[in-house]
Structure 1
């Protein structure tokens, strides 16, 4: 499944109408019918009172179909038209005329007051937002502004369902300039929109579902669109490396986690435990020798490689100690808890030079220490994985966090291609980008993951799956999916406040157990 923008969806609709011969009024009928199905499935009661708020464009046309079809099912919806009838054009006008010809009731906002609309909404169980759709660019104008302000009063009191995208949210960027509908659920057509996952979008779309309206998704490939791919549950589970039933610890790889410092002891432990409990055959934890006793006491399952330290950080001599042993490892992660130290940049350059053919995950302070030498990773032909959060990404690019967050897809894709790395740009909706230009969006996860140590667990999962033979892309997809879903599931019992790193690891184990019991999607 792809995520699409406004122009791509317009071209797909046009192709369906002109090349396949399916008229726009049929697509609009299909769209309205699908939304009605979702209204009934989501309804808090058997015969809900539905108020449909409709504009004059295609989104409003969907609303006209929705109201008519609800009448056909024996309900008594109220269609509220927010523009004068003479502003309704094209396919939407066809469906409005059908509605009027059937003498069905309409609330005309230009003849009424906002207070009268409030009285109608007070009686509603469900409010349908079919006001503006995907065509929004810039702030919402009147009278839609007043209506959106009014709907805000019903947050948590009425079920608000948006058609295609919440009115006021930019479908390409997710940006809200001024006001937007905050939906409980968004029913979108063909593909989710890019804006669902960017900037303000996740705060407004609520639960989303993409439905089929007879516009084939394969058209995106026929038209040659370069669209980000959504990580679905099927894709996430399918990307987990297959575990041979007769394998042994050598079969499942040897992962090296290299990190820690006097100040940050927990981070490498979280990463190592995540790697072991997600299937790596062996995990070696390389830490500064001063924290070795503490780390070993908390993580007896791992092997250990204490390295020479200086003032609580890895010393220069540590490179010579670990370099001859790197061939033992199938994957390497560097950075969790490593800290920033005066000779750190030189240390990182020397460590990279000692690598051979392993995939390496560069995380946390290792990213900081490498920020001035990014060209060094180009020679590793896609075997390097970067896992920055927005602040780290901004530092790598000498940009602000705001600049990164405003253009996540483009920034991730360009960086991955320029430096030939696989990139996981973390955030509320993480983005994965590959050296050959593919971009993926992880639609899972929420604030339960917003806690120190969560990212270290993710690093451990990626390193584990690499050790077990996954490609860098599959390791990123499976690890980010399981990490996000584990946080969601654990929050159901522990609360969004109470999920800690070890809880995420437990959640991953539970999800993997479910997959073993039901291997087929």
Structure 2
């Protein structure tokens, strides 16, 4: 499923109206009707008191249709226009005129009757937000500013039309105030801002509805849009397992990591790889960690490495042939130490073009050596959280979080690297410009070791033959959904890396 920004949606609307010949008034009618149908799936009580808050633009026009359609269904509805009638133009004016000619319930907000709006909100069961739409820019002006605050203090169920008023469609930024919707019914496709910055905290339950604007023309219009990861994407892209497969069929992965203070991280990666279907995993860890690690993960193979002060030495890597491994992950638990940069150099020199995943402090050692990535003959995958991405770019976490999508995309293209930028709504970016956003995941993932689990899932899918892009799409989905499902049983507080690992087979069992 595509997701788009304001200009993208405007381009599709314009094409539908001007080239396909479907008038804007019809699209507005379709939009209003789709919102009503979505609302009635949850609310069938005609005694519910519904207050529709409308502005003067196209979002308000959708509101005029919604109010009319609900009146036709027998609901107790009142339309509240927040601006002077003279400001209504275009298609919205057509639908406002129809509404007024039918003499349906109507309230015009003025400076002197503001208190009446508060009274109406206090009595409302449902408030429909059709105030600002995707046109929001900068600070919210009155009367919207005060009305938004009133709505957010209300106990009514709040449904936002297309986008919560005050939320910016392109980047998810909220200047000061925005509607905190219980549900957002959006048109054509989700907006990019739903998944960036403040967006996930404001949209509530999301429903995407068709209004006869065809998304099949995205490529024809040369729109470069991210995609939203869905169940169907993951089902289609997961590597399938032949019934006669054996451990060799499903690949052999190598995890290089661990240090004296961080024993568990590479174990989490190996465990999650096994739980996602890999055939064999070898753990290359400091020899001092071997006794503890072998007890915890007897199904793994081990490659104990020479170490100095609990850290893997660069010479230890030269003693081994890594050509038999289908894919390699480097970094879980590696920690920071003086010769870490040399260790990364030694690793790249030893590999034979296999896919390599670099995570955790492996990224720290890579920060001044990105030429290694450019020169490598195989695919490189990095899985930074915002702090690690900020280190790679020599910038701030704030800067990364404010421009997540652009930063991931530009970094992937510049260094010919696959990027999985972790966070609330993780982003996958590929060297050829493709981007994906994962709509799943929440605070249950906020535990040390969760990222190591994700690294292991990616390793597993690569070893089973998935291409890089598909492996990243499937891995971030499985990781996030496992945490969500486990949180339902264990609470958001109680999810651990091990329980995320245990949740992955449950999802795969339902999917296949």
Does the pair score TM above 0.5?
Answer: yes
SS in 1 for 2:323: helix
Equivalent in 274, 277, 292 of residue 276 of structure 1: 274
**Superposition pairs of residues 97-176 of structure 1, within 5 angstroms:** 97-110=97-110, 113-154=113-154, 157-176=155-174
> Structure 2 vs 1, CA of residues 115 and 381 (structure 1 numbering), >3 Å: closer, same or farther?
farther
SS in 2 for 1:56: coil
What is the aligned partner in structure 2 of residue 519 from structure 1? none
What is the aligned partner in structure 2 of residue 319 from structure 1? 317
Structure 1 residue 316: deviation in Å? 2.6
**Superposition pairs of residues 351-500 of structure 1, within 5 angstroms:** 351-380=347-376, 383-500=379-496
Query: Counterparts of 2:111 and 2:312 in 1: how far apart (Å)?
Result: 74
CA contact (8 A) 1:241 1:469 kept: yes
Query: Counterparts of 1:80 and 1:343 in 2: how far apart (Å)?
Result: 67
What is the aligned partner in structure 1 of residue 265 from structure 2? 267
CA contact (8 A) 1:129 1:161 kept: yes
What is the aligned partner in structure 1 of residue 233 from structure 2? 235
What is the aligned partner in structure 2 of residue 181 from structure 1? 179
Query: Counterparts of 1:380 and 1:206 in 2: how far apart (Å)?
Result: 44
Structure 1 residue 43: deviation in Å? 2.4
CA contact (8 A) 1:288 1:306 kept: yes
Q: Structure 2 stretches of 5 or more lacking a match?
A: none
Query: Counterparts of 2:219 and 2:2 in 1: how far apart (Å)?
Result: 10
CA contact (8 A) 1:391 1:401 kept: yes
CA contact (8 A) 1:424 1:432 kept: yes
Query: Counterparts of 1:451 and 1:267 in 2: how far apart (Å)?
Result: 12
CA contact (8 A) 1:307 1:321 kept: no
CA contact (8 A) 1:44 1:125 kept: no
Shift >6 Å, 4+ stretches = none
- Write out per-residue CA displacement over residues 87-112 of structure 1, whole angstroms, 9 at most, x where no aligned residue: 11110000000000000011111165
SS in 1 for 2:110: helix
Structure 1 residue 506: deviation in Å? 1.3
CA contact (8 A) 2:78 2:105 kept: yes
Structure 1 residue 287: deviation in Å? 0.7
Query: Counterparts of 2:314 and 2:353 in 1: how far apart (Å)?
Result: 23
> Structure 2 vs 1, CA of residues 112 and 61 (structure 1 numbering), >3 Å: closer, same or farther?
farther
CA contact (8 A) 1:57 1:132 kept: yes
Structure 1 residue 45: deviation in Å? 4.3
SS in 2 for 1:255: strand
Output the TM-score relative to the length of structure 2: 0.98
- Write out per-residue CA displacement over residues 89-146 of structure 1, whole angstroms, 9 at most, x where no aligned residue: 1100000000000000111111653321121111111111100000011011000000
> Structure 2 vs 1, CA of residues 423 and 258 (structure 1 numbering), >3 Å: closer, same or farther?
same
Query: Counterparts of 1:47 and 1:292 in 2: how far apart (Å)?
Result: 68
CA contact (8 A) 2:56 2:83 kept: yes
SS in 1 for 2:80: strand
Output the TM-score relative to the length of structure 1: 0.97
